[in-house]
Structures are given as C-alpha cells and as structure tokens.
C-alpha cells in the first residue's frame, strides 16, 4: 500500500452496513472530499435507516444497494469496480446473545466471511473492518495493546469480532487482500440508534423521576465521538503500510455509567435530586459485558491521528444530537 495518498484518494468505496449510524458518517466525510469517485452503500436496512443518508441521494457519486450480504452474486457485482470495502455490518444489540446465542455467529462471523469471499472473487481487495474492544476479554484496569497476550473474549459478540479478524488475516495472506481492523471503544454521536446514552434519554423522557441502570453503575469505559472514529480509520487507511494491521481506537480517558446518567439528566434539563437511580446490581450490565476497559492507542497515534474529543465531550455532544433526533422522530 502507498503511504502518501489522501484520505479518500481517487478511491471508490463500498460501505457494508452503510445505512447505519457509523456508516452514514463515513459517507458524509468521503463525499465531502472531491477526490472520492464513488460511495456505494450495501445494506438490508434491518437496523440502518434511509434518513441517515437521504441528504446524499442527489450526489451522482452515491448509490444504495438494498440487499442481503448472503447474496454473494449481488455483493460481488456491487464490489466490482471499487477499491475499498468498509465493513460495518454486525449484530447491533450486544446483549441479545444472552437470549439468542447464535446471533453473533449469524450476523457477525458469517457476514464477514461472505464479504471476504465476495472480495476474493472481485477486484476489490482492501478492507477496513470495524472490530471492537470485546475481543480482549476482561483485563480490568490493564491498558491493553493490540498484541495483548492472553486475549479471551467473554461474549459471543467479542468472539465473533475476533474470529472475523482472523478470517481477514487469513484471506490477506492467502488471496492477496490488505486490511486494517479497528478495535473501537464505544462510538457515540448523531444518528446513534442504541447505546447507554441513547437508552438513558429514552427512559428519562418516558419517566423523568426514575432511571433504571444496569449493573452497579461503576462500569468504566471510553466513549469516542464518531467524527474521531472516522478520522482514525481514514488515517490508518492512508498511512498503514503492512498488508494486515490492527488498531485500538479510543479517547484515552474514561467515564462510569452513573456519570453518563448524570450527563443525560443534565441534557434534559432535569433536577438531579428529583431523579431516582435504580440499579439492577452486579458489577456488569449483562452476562458477557466487560465492566472495565482500557485501550492503548499508541499505534494509531504513531500514524498521526489524535482524538479531538474527550469521553465527556463526546458524550455531551452526542446527547444533544440524540435529543434532536428523538424530537424529530416524535414530530
């Protein structure tokens, strides 16, 4: 890979799962660059929304393919003539596996295999994959590096992401693909359709006197704004030289769930003393949740990326934007 190309270069991108929260922001950034020749969204709209991307429909460089990733013929034809796949498709509800243990295999590992197989059969040989911090398992307050010894996912979601990373590595080695995999912290921002801040706003709008909080509220993680996330991915796409790369992407600071609840209460203009927090108990939100996550970001920073928003700034901006989204949804 060449290291001196612009973020979009003269590239043609396919965003698999592109009608979702993160994918729509990639579309915004890529189409804002005149060097981008094409952005094609490939999505079945099971969790994505047309309103996320509707403002691009008049752009001649933009196309939407409403189809299943299981349709390899359609996926292969869509990839043809493009250079880069941004693979974001996965199960959006991390806790769902408690009741549906197969969901992360069906909507994670299998989807990744299909994307890779379609790439192998086409002329699109570069993949940027949205993995996650769940691949590490539970290391507590240890700041984990990308080559962390002893990684052991404790959720089927994390296991699915880890399996997908290994498939991508194998396809790079065997079939001449190149890849960057990104282990994100919790991504937040406008158009978000799930997550703790989103859930808190919905609950407080329904009942501003009480807020249910899963676990003990002491869970502590990094929350990164989607703008910083997109910038990190495109920085690595531009600067990473090896055929297979893995990067942690996070803010470097952390916040507890109770502190997020406080931010949600403030965003709604509520009196904190009038809101009762009701904790479900235990040290984590659900079976498979990792209550404390610390990510080293030295590797992505070495390529020139820096995070513009702290965790608190990212969440505050996100909550304001989500309130606007929820109000438009209700009107």
pLDDT of 10 reads 54
116-173 pLDDT tens trace? 999 999 999 999 999 999 999 999 999 999 999 999 999 999 999 999 999 999 999 9
Band of the pLDDT at 96, cuts 50, 70, 90? confident
Task: Determine the longest span between alpha carbons in the chain, in angstroms.
Answer: 60
Beta bridge partners of 184: 132, 249
Residue 96, Cβ density class (10 Å: 0-12 exposed, 13-18 middle, ≥19 buried): middle
Band of the pLDDT at 331, cuts 50, 70, 90? low
Pick from 126-135, 175-184, 214-223, 322-331: least confident: 322-331
236-271 pLDDT tens trace? 999 998 999 999 999 999 999 999 999 999 999 999
CB 201 within 8 A of CB 264: yes
For residue 227, how many C-alpha atoms fall within 13 Å in the half-sphere facing its CB? 12
Tokens of 305: 């990326």
Q: Mean of the pLDDT values across residues 19-23?
A: 96
CA pair distance 102, 260, nearest whole angstrom: 31
> 12-188+223-252+294-303 has which CATH code?
3.40.50.720
The dihedral built from the CA positions of residue 300, 306, 308 and 312, taken in this order, carries a sign that is: positive
CA pair distance 182, 184, nearest whole angstrom: 6
Q: Count Cβ atoms below 10 Å from residue 202 Cβ, excluding itself.
A: 12
Band of the pLDDT at 319, cuts 50, 70, 90? very high
22-68 pLDDT tens trace? 999 999 999 999 999 999 999 999 989 999 999 999 999 999 999 99
Sole residue written with tokens 């660059």: 33
Domain positions in the chain are 12-188+223-252+294-303, 196-219+254-293+320-330
- In Å, how far from its chain's centre is CA 89? 9
CA pair distance 157, 283, nearest whole angstrom: 19
The more confident residue out of 325 and 236 is: 236
Question: 3-state class of 324 per DSSP?
Answer: helix
Q: Which of 238, 226, 119 is nearest to 176 (CA)?
A: 119
Pick from 93-97, 220-224, 254-258: least confident: 93-97
The two domains 12-188+223-252+294-303 and 196-219+254-293+320-330 share their CATH topology (first three levels equal): no
265-306 pLDDT tens trace? 999 999 999 999 999 999 998 889 999 999 999 999 999 999
CA pair distance 54, 185, nearest whole angstrom: 27
Band of the pLDDT at 1, cuts 50, 70, 90? very low
CA pair distance 167, 190, nearest whole angstrom: 31
Per-residue exposure over 294-319, b if at least 16 CB sit within 10 Å of its own CB, e if not: bbbbebbbebebebebbbbbbbbbbb
Q: Is CATH 3.90.25 correct for 196-219+254-293+320-330?
A: yes
Residue 9, pLDDT above cutoff 60: no
CA angle 285, 290, 292 (to 5 degrees): 105
């Amino acid at each position: 890979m060449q290291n001196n190309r612009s973020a979009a270069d003269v590239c043609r991108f396919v965003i698999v799962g592109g009608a979702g929260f993160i994918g729509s922001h990639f579309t915004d950034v890529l189409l804002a660059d005149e060097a981008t020749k094409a952005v094609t969204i490939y999505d079945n709209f099971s969790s994505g929304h047309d309103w996320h991307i509707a403002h691009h429909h008049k752009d001649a460089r933009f196309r939407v393919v409403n189809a299943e990733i299981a349709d390899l013929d359609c996926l292969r034809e869509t990839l043809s003539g493009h250079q880069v796949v941004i693979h974001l498709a996965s199960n959006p509800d991390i806790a769902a596996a408690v009741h549906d243990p197969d969901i992360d295999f069906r909507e994670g590992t299998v989807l990744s295999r299909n994307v890779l197989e379609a790439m192998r059969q086409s002329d699109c040989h570069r993949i940027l994959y949205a993995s996650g911090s769940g691949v590490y398992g539970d290391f507590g307050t240890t700041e984990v590096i990308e080559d962390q010894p002893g990684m052991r996912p404790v959720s089927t979601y994390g296991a699915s992401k880890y399996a997908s990373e290994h498939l991508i590595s194998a396809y790079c080695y065997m079939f001449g693909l190149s890849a960057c995999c990104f282990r994100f912290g919790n991504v937040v921002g406008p158009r978000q359709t799930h997550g703790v801040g989103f859930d808190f706003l919905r609950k407080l709008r329904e009942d501003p006197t009480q807020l249910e909080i899963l676990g003990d509220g002491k869970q502590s993680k990094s929350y990164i704004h989607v703008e910083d996330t997109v910038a990190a991915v495109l920085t690595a796409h531009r600067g990473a030289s090896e055929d297979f790369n893995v990067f942690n992407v996070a803010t470097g600071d952390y916040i507890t769930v109770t502190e997020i609840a406080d931010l949600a209460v403030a965003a709604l203009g509520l009196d904190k003393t009038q809101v009762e927090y009701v904790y479900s108990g235990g040290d984590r939100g659900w079976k498979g949740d990792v209550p404390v996550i610390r990510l080293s970001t030295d590797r992505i920073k070495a390529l020139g990326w820096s995070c513009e928003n702290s965790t608190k700034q990212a969440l505050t901006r996100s909550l304001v934007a989500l309130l606007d989204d929820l109000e438009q949804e209700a009107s």
